[in-house]
Amino acid sequence: MEAFVGCGGVVKALNTHTYGNGSETIVLSHGYGSTQDVWHYLIPALAYYFKVLVYDLVISPNVNPKLYDPLRYSNFSAYAQDLICILDELNVRNSVFVGHFMSAMIGCIAAKQRPDLFQHLVLLAGSPRYLNEDETGYDGGFSRVELDSLFDSIKSDFSGWVKSFVPKAIGVNDTAAIAAFEGSLGRMKPETALTAVRSVFLTDNRDILPGVHVPSTIIQSEKDIIVPESVAFYMKTRVDAPAKVIILKTQGHFPQLTVPYLLLRVLKQILGIKG
């Protein structure tokens, strides 16, 4: 197992790149199974107005797999520390953070610890808990039986699971989006894919939300097999700062791939960009 050497090492190891020369920084953080390439439609448009910062999570297939420590990254705190490290090393403050899937909660944890780094959080298809809770009626989208079946599928036939899961996650008949997600998810080491997905789907981050004092916009598709629409409104009621929910008129977990023009329009509204 290798280790990062200082925040400069994190910046390099996680393939951090910046585009554009704007005075304000927008950070794009991908989710499970993808890489920073998932933002390729949005980067050119956003870089016209902002400095755009992208990086890879340590579980990305683009990152040296020896840097992934399953114990250290068994919850989202270590991912949040990586994000904080990158922003500190690059002297980024008061940024707009766009976090997809697991990165939505990574951003919330980082913002709770270091609110000076963020002016606004855009939480895209994120959730604080994916497991249903019968006692409270919380609908996370999955029963424990369903998650155990998912884990078993990854363990027994990873490539077969990828082929089956990807089209369901994309949610629409978009061959380019399916190919993009399948290409990144399929390049993960199966053991990393399994340990990481267990931490994503079994971690309960609901107690993080009341400590988030940075304003946020929560964006969700009308139909997403991974995150129920109700989760967006649950998050809105739990954060301690102004929050707005926007439901995109589309299906699937990856609007940045399937309807980038629609997501860009929403982001421009959030960021106060005309045109």
The boundaries of the domain holding residue 97 are 6-271
Q: What is the dihedral of CA 43, 166, 205, 133, to 10 degrees?
A: 150
The answer to whether 80 and 58 have CB atoms below 8 angstroms apart is: no
Q: Is residue 1 part of a domain?
A: no
pLDDT in tens, 127-181: 999 999 999 999 999 999 999 999 999 999 999 999 999 999 999 999 999 999 9
Tally the domains of the chain: 1
Radius of gyration, alpha carbons of the chain: 17
* Tens digit of pLDDT at every position of the chain (275 positions): 566 668 989 999 999 999 999 999 999 999 999 999 999 999 999 999 999 999 999 999 999 999 999 999 999 999 999 999 999 999 999 999 999 999 999 999 999 999 999 999 999 999 999 999 999 999 999 999 999 999 999 999 999 999 999 999 999 999 999 999 999 999 999 999 999 999 999 999 999 999 999 999 999 999 999 999 999 999 999 999 999 999 999 999 999 999 999 999 999 999 998 76
Q: What is the CATH number for 254? A: 3.40.50.1820
- Number of residues written out for the chain: 275
User: In the 8-state DSSP scheme, what is residue 68?
Assistant: -
272 torsion bin: left (phi>0), alpha (psi -120 to 50), beta (else): left
Q: Is residue 164 part of a domain?
A: yes
Report the alpha-carbon distance of residue 111 to residue 81 in Å, rounded: 11
| Bridge partners, 245 (sequence order) | 218
Q: Label the pairing between strands 17-19 and 51-55.
A: antiparallel
